[in-house]
Amino acid sequence: MVANALTEHEETIARLVEARAASRVHAKDATLYSFSQEAQDYSANFMGWADLASNPPCSLDEIKQLAARFAEAGMESVILIGQGGSTQASMTMTKFNKADSPVKFRVLDSDSPVRLRKVLSEIDPATTLVIVSSKSGGTLEMRSLFSALRMAFADDLPADEMCKHFVAITDPGSALEAQAKEEGWGGILSGEPTVGGRFSALSVFGLFPAAAAGVDVDELMARGLQAERACSQDVPENPAIGLAAFLYDNWKAGRDKFAFVSPKRARALGLWIEQLIAESVGKGGVGVLPQVEVDPLLLSEDRGDRAVVMCNAAVYTWDEADDFERGMNCVSTDIPFYGFTVEDTEDLAEQFVIWEYATAMLGYLMQVSPFDQPDVASVKAKVLDILDAGLPEADFVDDGTEVGAVEVRTSPACGESADVRAALGALFASIEPGNYFAMNAFLPFDGEGRRGALGRIRRAVAEKYGVMSCLEIGPRYMHSTGQLQKGGADVGVYLLISADEPKDIPLTGVPAKSLGQLSKAQATGDFLILSERGRRCLHLHLPDNSTVTLRRFADLIEDVLREL
């Protein structure tokens, strides 16, 4: 597939090769990727990712020895608490390595009490390692989830013993590092400040959780080193140059989205790519939107606004391979296509490097800095304001819906409405060809039927309007596609959904009083920023998040769509 990219995108490939050769600098020099002196000055502080495999800032022996110590102590489960770049690469490697892992690995990046209770029901605190991961050490979601988990662990373990089960991964000098030292945690691993979160796959943020789950980090880094050498070459065959040219030329042609299609085993890689691309180049009124978990039948017609990226991953059964092949045969041959193969965990290291280099090059071509995320910070500040001052009043409450009383907030871009059906109708009516629809759901995805109900909504919108339709999980997406939603082009239509928690979990030592309060504040804060940016958006707060309520909500939306 890279060969096709080389023949179809020769002009852009030649431009990138010339730019690299003219700079005559090594991989860590920001002039390779930044389009202006100002951008180069900023980017120079965030180029540590470029040689993580060839010059690891954290000792691999230290990582392996700490992981081995916990394994020898009988740890059977690992819980990783973090957000965005602190968890995505680890989640990708551990899901791909799941069948071979000696431990059960889980990620906590959801505010949902339902999710936390499910995780706690599946582990024994006495045999569980908890990795708390945050570059800044102060991420609100991390602090809140750790507070709730810590209270649960305290019911089973004495305080001094409990702290021995915790490992902090954070940049030097953070509040998390200070806390871990003061309380005598089981380990502290220092991040590299010049490596941004979404470019940290082969840093300690990705490597230690992977090692704790049984991944051979030596083999991983060896493959990463090979990829680094290939991506540092000033030649057309450089795989990152081919990928960057594919993404850029399609963006120039109006294909500002791509569908990531893969077997289920590799979908976590799609989530990592989603954050890397969307957050890195989704700013300044431009952006490229990846979509994960795509039904290939929805790609049977070329709509002219998207490309396809296919990851052909190894699967466990003939039936799964046959099903994936049949799905790919449904994709229109008129849609530009880029494909690659991942056979094992080591292949992931190669793809991490290729996509990181390509993303930096894409930022150079699109003339945006790939290393900042200004609109993520704006939502964080808004959420803290809400937690301090209280939630603003809803525009109205519709107590006559099929799901019960629903709080409604509408954006000026969608006009005023008197009830939920009218508000939904106005939102959907604003969708135009070339737009995309995103359902930003601050809801639990555990339990029978919840995800399926939301999937029905996504598909119904896609079929009705022929647009890319995304299901985004809150608050995870706020550190990912949330940047593009607010900083990219005004081509998105957003439905934000949150719900009351029938059995909330209280918090201490953090701004939020409970996980449910935090989730509602985040959904509201994100809506307010989107609305202030003039985006077409609607926030509906449901009376509960039960499967029955979400199914009835899906029925309501399908009914509204039929009437339009």
Closest C-alpha among 535, 47, 16, 481 to residue 247: 16
pLDDT band at 1 (very low <50, low <70, confident <90, very high): very low
* Residues 6+ positions from 17 with CB-CB distance below 8 Å: 234, 235, 236, 238, 241
| Statement: residue 248 has pLDDT above 60 | yes
Greatest Cα pair distance in the chain: 67
Give the range among 99-108, 192-201, 262-271, 351-360 with minimum mean pLDDT. Answer: 99-108
Rg of the chain, C-alpha, whole Å: 23
Architecture of domain 2-32+234-366: 3-Layer(aba) Sandwich (3.40)
Beta strands in 466-523 (DSSP E): 468-473, 492-499
pLDDT band at 31 (very low <50, low <70, confident <90, very high): low
Is domain 60-215 given the CATH code 3.50.50.60 in the classification? Answer: no
Domain boundaries, the chain: 2-32+234-366, 60-215, 374-563
* Full-model pTM: 0.95
Note the pLDDT of residue 35: 66
DSSP at 297:
G
Q: Which residues of 260-292 are buried (b: 16+ CB within 10 A; e: fewer)?
A: bbbbebbbbbbbbbbbbbbbbbbbeebbbbbbb
**Burial classification of residue 393, based on how many CB atoms lie within 10 Å of its CB (0-12 exposed, 13-18 middle, 19 or more buried):** exposed
Note the pLDDT of residue 29: 64
Mean pLDDT of the chain: 92
Q: % helix / strand / coil in the chain, to the nearest 5?
A: 50, 15, 30
325-341 pLDDT tens trace: 999 999 999 999 999 99
| Statement: residue 27 has pLDDT above 70 | no
Note the pLDDT of residue 3: 42
Q: Please give the span between the terminal C-alpha atoms of the chain, in angstroms, as a whole number.
A: 41
Prior bond to 102 cis, omega within 30? no
Say if 2-32+234-366 and 60-215 have the same CATH topology.
yes
Q: How far is CA 20 from the centre of its chain?
A: 30
Q: Which residues of 354-379 are buried (b: 16+ CB within 10 A; e: fewer)?
A: bbbbbbbbbbbbbebbbbbbebbebb
**For 278-285, what is the mean pLDDT?**
96
How many other C-beta atoms are found inside a 10 Å radius of the C-beta of residue 401? Answer: 18
109-141 pLDDT tens trace: 999 999 999 999 999 999 999 999 999 998 999
| Statement: residue 487 has pLDDT above 50 | yes
What is the spatial distance between Cα 405 and Cα 399, in angstroms, rounded to a whole number? 4
Contact 144, 518 (CB under 8 A): yes
| Statement: residue 460 has pLDDT above 60 | yes
Superfamily of segment(s) 374-563 = Glucose-6-phosphate isomerase like protein; domain 1 (3.40.50.10490)
Residue showing tokens 């602190």 = 86
Q: What DSSP string runs through 376-428?
A: HHHHHHHHHHHHHH-PPPPSEEEEEETTEEEEEEE-GGG---SSHHHHHHHHH
| Statement: residue 100 has pLDDT above 80 | no
Q: Is 31 or 166 the better-scoring residue by pLDDT? A: 166
Give the range among 40-44, 149-153, 200-204, 251-255 with minimum mean pLDDT. Answer: 40-44
In the sheet with 436-441, reading across from the earlier edge strand, the strands are 396-401, 404-410, 536-542, 492-499, 436-441, 468-473
